[in-house]
A and B are shown apart, each in its own frame.
Chain A
Amino acid sequence: MSTTPAPPGNGNGNAAAPAVERGLIHDLGYGAYSGPRSGPWTRTWIIAREVLRVGWKNPWLRRCMWMSFMVVAVWGVFIFVQGQTQGIAQLEQAKAFLPKKDTYVMWAVTRSLVFIGVLAGAIVGAGAVSDDLRAGAFQFYFARPLRPQQYVVGKLLGVIMAIGLVVVVPAVGLAAVRVVMETHVEVMVRALGVIPRTLALAGVVTLALAALAVLMSSLTPRKIYAQASYTLLLFISFAISLPLAKVSNNVKLRVISLRDAVEGLGYGLFQKWTFDRTWAPPWQTSLTMLLCVFGGASLALLWRIRRVELSSLGT
């Protein structure tokens, strides 16, 4: 934590605070403060920590973590069984048609954890700003030495950490399990690449989901509306992306669904055999889409918060 010295004196030219008189009203020690003051970006972390604290108090976030744990356990079993079957003679011929172990890690992210991430985004992210809007808390925040950028980054960081708990942490954990299941050190070392790839995939999807959730949250003071619009947007786009791509015969259109974009990016990162890649979106388009969602939603959020900042300090 960076610190700067306390501002000297006060506006009346008093270099030091007057001595505290005891026994006046509710005198239990309120007096001058002359200690250190933290740097401006520390406040970003304070806001992020508060978002995470509020999220943690919600039992649904903890349930999401349990679901993620179960997902990791199930996909871990698949990886374990895959490893055991390699030695069975009758399956040797079929090995060519079985997915590689890394693919299971990718599928854990793109086919399971991403949905839990959506749920966590709705639980934590959709209330991150709407609760402040409803409570008039912008008067509280922006009468303090806090920039809108710090507020936005703090809220985003908090939601990213909350979603990361149910997406990134379990995904990386599964990738680590997949590595340590190898019996030979040499193979284990070669398999280490799955960890950064998983981190990148889960990280990008977390960023996109968090930014979208907080943006939706900033549009309405009712948390339930923010949650509904966020989940509907994601699930409707997921439902229509494949039919739309087929009708238009343009596979790139599938990236309108964040989940499909995540899968497209997964194929690019993992380069593994899958059952059907005919309608898989290109990874470049997928990555661009996910980063655009994150960047666009963050900028829109900043614009929205600046507007709210200037309109909410009513007297």
Chain B
Amino acid sequence: MILELEGVRKNYGSGVQALRGLTGSVSGQRIGLLGPNGAGKSTLLKVLLGLLDFSGKAKVLGHDPRTQALAIRARVGYMPEGECYLPGMSAVEYCTYAAELSGLPRTPAMQRAHAALDYAGLEDKRYLPVETYSTGMKQKVKLAQAIVHDPELLFLDEPTNGLDPRGREEMLSLILEIPKRRGATLLVSTHILADVERVCESALVLNQGSIAYHGTLDELRGKGDRGLEVRVKSGAAELVAGLTAKGCTVRMDGDAVVVDALPAGASIDLVLEEARSRGLQVRHLAVRKLTLEAAFLKTVADDAARHATGGLAGATAATPAAPTPGAAP
């Protein structure tokens, strides 16, 4: 288990409730941390790194952030959103310094700095001062300093911020490679949902200081509007009439036939048989899912509505089922 939270609350002095009793267990290997501005993502990261006091119970990699913050930080790599390089340092000096501060002796620190920079694709530029680098190179240096000490858990904060499409693609490839190569777990905080779709297998959605959702991305997309979407070459109205006659709840959405509910005991074969019997050519048949963006917005809106109606019995998140890559929803 990567994170275990039980009633984690954080109130700032100004009366702002940054975290409102987060409860749940978070596992998985590539987790997206999503949420609108002010949702509590920064506060959660600070709490997990042991930088903020809080009420409730929390464990990161089995360590308590209150009493074992240094043990957590020794096992966690953090790639911040903002610039954090040290003036006058070359990339290799910077990464060596980072490794030494994380507890590696000097010689291994230097060896790993070179390896991490090679991994990040900064082979020939590593001796130049970091402040002379382009945005893309700085992002790579930030990734290298985060992985140089061989962390088991990586907090990546907006890793593709400011990158052009090519740089973004390179960065995502590097990030995706880390769990495969080292077995490290990623917690990616980002506003770019396409990045989450590319890198993550599950998501932790925060809203107003509570967990609005935790589970696989497929489950997130499938929340709310389910049903089947059918497209036929022609005769959509005929199909609607036929399915309705067989007890389905059917409607048209543009040129698509949307089957909201099938009769009890019926399966998707019913739709195919009906189309075949009427001589209609089915060109598309799929479970209707939201885009990740729409699913995210819906999740946040639903959660806000629950807050507004006082229906928040407890912000909880269950461990998601192990996702099956490539499986149909």
CB distance from B112 to the nearest CB of A (A): 6
Q: A11-B153, A143-B76 are in contact. Are A25 and B183 (CB under 8 A)?
A: no
CA distance A70 to B294 in the complex (A): 74
The reply to whether B98 and A33 contact each other, CB–CB distance below 8 Å, is no
Chain A 13-41 near chain B by CB (<8 Å), digits 1 or 0: 01001101100111111111101111010
The reply to whether A143 and B73 contact each other, CB–CB distance below 8 Å, is yes
Chain B contacts for A12, CB-based, 8 A: 2, 29, 152, 183, 185
Most chain A beta-carbon neighbours within 10 Å: one of B49, B75, B76, B86: B86
Does chain A have a CB within 8 A of B238?
Answer: no
Chain B contacts for A145, CB-based, 8 A: 70-71, 73-74, 101-103
One of A130-138, A184-192, A206-214 at the interface: A130-138
Q: What's the A-B contact tally at a CB cutoff of 8 Å?
A: 172
The reply to whether B181 and A139 contact each other, CB–CB distance below 8 Å, is no
Point out the residue from B42, B97, B158 that lies within 8 Å of A313, measured CB to CB. B42
Residue of chain B at shortest CB distance from A57: B88
Chain A contacts for B303, CB-based, 8 A: none
Residues of chain A at interface, number, CB under 8 A: 55
Does chain A have a CB within 8 A of B145?
Answer: yes
CA distance A20 to B152 in the complex (A): 15
Does chain A have a CB within 8 A of B133?
Answer: no
The reply to whether A32 and B84 contact each other, CB–CB distance below 8 Å, is no
Chain A contacts for B82, CB-based, 8 A: 136, 139, 314
Chain A 47-65 near chain B by CB (<8 Å), digits 1 or 0: 1001000100100000000
Most chain B beta-carbon neighbours within 10 Å: one of A20, A26, A37, A131: A26
Point out the residue from A9, A10, A146, A314 that lies within 8 Å of B101, measured CB to CB. A146
Residue of chain A at shortest CB distance from B178: A30
The reply to whether A11 and B75 contact each other, CB–CB distance below 8 Å, is yes
CA distance A29 to B61 in the complex (A): 26
With A24-B180, A143-B73 given, can you name 20 additional A-B contacts, CB distance below 8 Å?
A10-B152, A10-B185, A11-B185, A12-B152, A12-B183, A25-B121, A26-B123, A30-B112, A30-B147, A33-B104, A35-B105, A37-B103, A57-B88, A137-B84, A137-B86, A141-B101, A144-B73, A145-B73, A313-B51, A314-B42
Chain B residues with a Cβ under 8 A of chain A: 1-2, 29, 41-42, 45-46, 49, 51-52, 61-62, 70-71, 73-76, 78, 80-88, 97-98, 100-105, 108, 112, 114-116, 118-121, 123, 145, 147, 149-150, 152-153, 155, 157-158, 173-174, 177, 180-185, 189
